[in-house]
Structure 1
Amino acid sequence: MRRILKWIIPIIVVLAVAFYLFSSSGMGKVGTNLTQAYADQELYKNAIEKANSDQRVLDEIREIQPIDKMTILNGEVNFSDHNQTVNSTIKVTGLKGNGKVDLTAERENESWHYEKINIRIKDSEKKKKTIEIINLP
């Protein structure tokens, strides 16, 4: 029993310290934001539909492909106002090129109202271009 206690006590202490550092660093909030965005498929699906209806996007990178769940986890997501407002940036892939979508949305009832949807494109000639789909003041 003493041998087991020699290992269990240090492991418990290390886990407690790791938990404290994780929770006090703000990483728990990042994990919560990503989990919520991961679960809310409509947030990105509707934004991509709006972007795909813009001829400038179609001219630059063609139709943007549906976003997979790993893309959301690799992106940046910030919820605020009791999870009623979101700011997010994720990578998008078109048939002709790639870019990033920046969006700001507010939840109204059960749907998202978009205040900003921008598609940022960096082409092969190191030029950057931003296509504003929606940009409300």
Structure 2
Amino acid sequence: MDHHLPLAKKGWRRNRLWIISLSGIALILAGIFVVTDMPEATVNLVRAYNDSELYEKAWAKAAVDEEVIEILGELEPVDKLAILEGEVIYHDDNTVDATIRISGNRGRGRLDITARKITGNWVYSRIGVRIKSGRHKGKTIEVDPEVFKK
């Protein structure tokens, strides 16, 4: 049994540089996470990820806009990864500004949403589509938030 002890010591000595380096990096990343507003940003993304109605209704309104169709083509459904790649800011429990990636068969863009939750339903004050590719790159299309309002 004594022959296992020297192997354990050799393993520690051989890997201590890696262990110390990775521990230091982990502490630095933890410090950055705590000092910045990353915890709040993470919570906001998780909330938006779980509230699919927020972006699905805005996407549906953009998907029927004639100018969006003309420039981006038929929009592909929003995938969950697009939410995590975007930016979401909750100003209070009921008001949100969000940006998510969208793409069509003719180009890519960003869907900018400003909305307020009233009696359990999202009411949009702004839906914008920023074009990110093609000859219209940089153009912003303001979508009527009242399109097929229920």
Shared fold per TM-score greater than 0.5: yes
SS in 1 for 2:129: strand
Provide closer, same or farther for how the CA distance between residues 28 and 59 of structure 1 changes in structure 2, counting only shifts above 3 A. same
What's the CA shift for 1:23? 2.7
**Structure label with greater radius of gyration:** 2
Q: Check conservation: 2:107, 2:134, Cα contact below 8 A.
A: no
TM-score normalised by structure 1 residue count: 0.79
Measured in 1, the distance between the counterparts of 2:133 and 2:37 equals: 35
Other-structure match for 1:102? 112
Q: What's the RMSD between the two structures over aligned residues?
A: 2.5
TM-score normalised by structure 2 residue count: 0.73
Q: How many residues align?
A: 126
Other-structure match for 1:7? none
Question: Cα deviation per residue 1:81-128 (whole Å; 9 max; x = unaligned)?
Answer: 2x2111011110112111111110000111100000000113434742
Q: How does 1:42-61 map to 2 (within 5 A)?
A: 42-61=53-72
Other-structure match for 1:87? 97
2:131 to 121, 125, 130: 121
Measured in 2, the distance between the counterparts of 1:65 and 1:59 equals: 14
Moved more, 98-107 or 23-32: 23-32
1:28 to 31, 34, 39: 39
Q: Check conservation: 1:102, 1:116, Cα contact below 8 A.
A: yes
Other-structure match for 1:70? 81
What's the CA shift for 1:31? 0.5
Q: Which runs of 5+ in 1 are unaligned?
A: 4-9
What's the CA shift for 1:54? 1.0
Q: Which runs of 5+ in 2 are unaligned?
A: 1-8, 10-19
Q: Check conservation: 1:115, 1:134, Cα contact below 8 A.
A: no
SS in 2 for 1:67: coil
Other-structure match for 2:143? 133
Q: Check conservation: 2:98, 2:114, Cα contact below 8 A.
A: yes
